Amino acid sequence: MPDPSIPGLAPDRPYFRGFDPSSVPTPCFVVDRAALQYNLDILSGISRDSSADILLALKAFSMFATFDQVRSSLSGTCASGVHEARLGREFVDKQVHSFAPAYNHQDLLQLLELSDHIVFNTPGQWARYSPACLEAHHINPSLRFGLRINPEHSEGTTPLYDPAGPFSRLGTSRQAFTRYLETLGDSPGTASPVDSASSGLVTDSWFRPGGILHGISGLHMHSLCEQDSFALERTVHALEEAWADVLARPEITWLNLGGGHHITKPYYDRSHLTALIHRLSSAYNLKIYLEPGEAIAIHTGILVTQVLDTLWNGMDLAILDTSATAHMPDTLEMPYRPDIWGAGLPGDEAHTYRLGGQTCLAGDILGDYSFPRPLNPGDRLVFDDMAHYTMVKTTTFNGIGLPSLALYDSRTGAVEVVKSFGYTDFKSRLS
């Protein structure tokens, strides 16, 4: 098969050059190590030029067979809970930053042992767990704690992926933050409330021992999704308008700018990002962290599938050995239409098909595509750009098997199937 021509890819990007879809079982996720390294080299260059630490967001890409490359290129991982934190510690073993909208006591105790940074979603949750955290910090002085804040500035267009949208549960708004501090003024044994004359500005007492913010050394924000450095700049401006007094506190030594940065896309202005990081770091004397997931794994992976049957019901239909709902749920959630190598929009080529999955769900539809020749059982179809988020969201709905996992390397042509799944994987999830 000729090399795929993917619109928007940099011409020097290695991406499945010479790959033969028949070299792997189906369905199968395949990651190109050369393409992954291309992204990692860009990100490590940003880290070098800006002095920011860049972390792999495991929620987006967790194929630990590639973590030897991640370990060599990035500063660590960020986790959404105990399992991801443990994965990052075991297979990368550099920095582990953890955040969840809420913690239970048992999970927090494990995260205190696994993590370097733990971020709390609200000051109330920090207040409940700060005694255990400060005790852990006494044992491990390198452990750091932060608060996730909501910049209340939306750049995205899809509400499902907008943490800064109305009534979001993700992060603390400045109004909620100030109201929480004010309510503590009536509680015995707490520091004095925020001075109303200061328009809600925090005071020294909140950071001293016994104060509600004692032990908090950084802030975390995340509200972008597949966006550029100028969207980040506008968001940072909103952040500074609301939180400059907290950012300027000597106790606050780091700022995590979250993910959603399309840093490895050809259009992304990386010099602008570097300048923005330098300005923030210099203005507030902060260590800056970024935690992209998509930027690390974008244009590195594919899903190889096979046509099982064709039929006609008002239009040509084809059933594949994959599933939208079980193997690529983002196509239904976002929703979006994934590209297929060699296929066009309906009517572009001579033969248009509606592609469906193997499950009983009537809406398990992958989309309408046209092909230069009729599809037949046994034909291989390759869905493009399937590494980020898609791989981590697969399920065994209807008992459908999980796709195998494979590695390819455009530099050498080597193919390795690293894992296949079977009945035991399905059975073990349920009892």
Q: State the binding site for substrate.
A: 294, 330
- Best CA proximity match to 206, nearest among 232, 166, 177: 177
Q: Which two tokens stand for residue 286?
A: 């902060």
Provide the sign of the torsion angle of the four alpha carbons 231, 236, 237, 243, taken in this order.
Answer: positive
Pairing mode of beta strands 117-120, 95-99: parallel
Q: How far is Cα 280 from Cα 254, in angstroms, rounded to an integer?
A: 10
Nearest to 338 by CA among 348, 349, 327, 352: 327
Element spanning 406, H or E: strand 404-408
User: CB 90: neighbour CB atoms within 10 A?
Assistant: 11
* Residue that is written with structure tokens 């530099």 in the block: 411
Annotated binding site: 294, 330
**Which contacts qualify for 424-430: CB closer than 8 Å, 24 or more apart?**
425/396, 426/396, 426/399, 426/401, 429/396
Q: Quote the crossing angle between the two packed helices 123-139 and 174-183, to the nearest 10°.
A: 80
Element (H, E) at 35: helix 33-50
Q: Which residues contact 52 (CB under 8 A, 6 or more apart)?
A: 46, 277, 281, 287, 288, 289, 290
CB 28 within 8 A of CB 361: no
- The H-assigned helical ranges of 211-369 are 229-247, 270-284, 294-297, 324-327, 330-333
User: What gap in Å lies between CA 75 and CA 93, rounded to an integer?
Assistant: 10
Listing DSSP states for 366-398 in one string gives EEEEEESS---TT-EEEEES-TTTTGGG---GG
The single-letter code of the amino acid at 276 is L
Cα(48)–Cα(172) distance, rounded to whole angstroms? 31
C-alpha–C-alpha distance, residues 55 and 275, integer Å: 19
> What gap in Å lies between CA 338 and CA 347, rounded to an integer?
17
